[in-house]
Amino acid sequence: MDGELGNILKVSAAVWAAMLYARMAARRISPGAGRLAALLPAVGLFYGIPFAFSTTTFRGSSGFFLSWLGTFKLFLLAAGRGPLDPSLPLLQFVCSASLPVKLRQSTGGSKSKKQDPASGPARKILVAGAVIPFIIYAYQFKEAMSRWQLLLLYTVHIYLSLELLLASVHAVIHGVLGMEMEPQVDRPYLASSLRDFWGRRWNLMVPAILRPSVYGPVRARFGDAAGVLASFLVSGLMHELMFYYIMWQPPSGDVTAFFVLHGVCAGAEAWWGRHAGWWRPPRVLAVPLTLAFVGGTGLWLFFPAMIRGGLDALVLQECQGMVVLMEQAGRWLAAGPVLSSR
């Protein structure tokens, strides 16, 4: 763990240096091919940063924040679009590039006084921190579980881990940087269609960056269906890259197939809605059908890629190591006053 903390410091320094350079380059060079060429060194650094870490937690987090979201923001910056603006103060520019955050919109009136923006993340941290240890314990009995029970366990684990990670980041940056987290998840268990699930409820940072970088340009030239399919294809390829960062194993293509399948079905779903809008399944039926399709195809294509690569075992091992580290830290803190009194 000490080595990983040192790696975090080195990576943070490298990100700051790269973003200082990217901000200066974007200020001096107009949007276009020239700015893109100037930003490529920073893009290359973001793609290489996960290799600096030895644990799946930091490789996966840095891969998602920097190698995916960060590089796409830099590509948008090269085109003069997206959340990055060279006129931003350096601190806000660096955080916007390397974290899923955005500038806080000042809101006057009684709403901002009644609501504490930090209460939501704090509640999520408490809930996820309380439930995840039970999930880790349940992994000991996974050999006796059915495939659907394992699917439910993995799904809840991924959901709560994402909530815990992003809520923790929000708790750190809130009030210090004047920035807010981008939307994360919005009750995906209530999704009534594939577009509703992927576009408005699950891991919303991804569609937020894919819309301006992939969907919009492709849709403008080839139509809505092509834009949807291209977005899902790019999402699948980036998920394969994330799996490679985490497990050090070449991609199998199953994860890309999972997202391409969902892209085709989401496009067909939209077509049906336009041409047969007079008949749609009621919400009470659409929600379980959507969740069953996501779960069934995930059990077929997505989760086997995790299990074959041993991701569940790696995560379990790291979580157990973290528990041991916390226990040791607790003993050390408890023994501190005793030792100092002697």
Q: How far apart are CA 66 and CA 9, in angstroms?
A: 15
Identify the pLDDT of residue 338. 46
Alpha helices in 29-146 (DSSP H): 33-48, 56-62, 71-78, 90-98, 110-114, 119-138
Q: Which residue has the higher pLDDT, 6 or 24?
A: 24
pLDDT tens track for 184-216 = 788 889 999 999 999 999 888 899 999 999 999
Q: Is the pLDDT of residue 108 over 60?
A: no
Global pTM? 0.80
Beta carbons within 10 angstroms of residue 113's beta carbon: 9
Q: Residue 341: which pLDDT band, with cuts at 50, 70 and 90?
A: very low
Q: How far apart are CA 283 and CA 303, in angstroms?
A: 27
Q: Which of 81-85, 257-261, 296-300 has the highest mean pLDDT?
A: 257-261
Q: Are 334 and 10 in contact (CB under 8 A)?
A: no
Identify the pLDDT of residue 66. 95
Return the closest-CA partner of residue 159 out of 189, 196, 190, 118: 189
Identify the pLDDT of residue 130. 82
Q: Residue 109: which pLDDT band, with cuts at 50, 70 and 90?
A: very low
Q: Which residue has the higher pLDDT, 137 or 328?
A: 137
Q: Is the pLDDT of residue 290 over 80?
A: yes
Q: Are 193 and 269 in contact (CB under 8 A)?
A: yes
Q: How far apart are CA 173 and CA 187, in angstroms?
A: 24
Residue in the structure block whose two tokens are 């959901």:
159
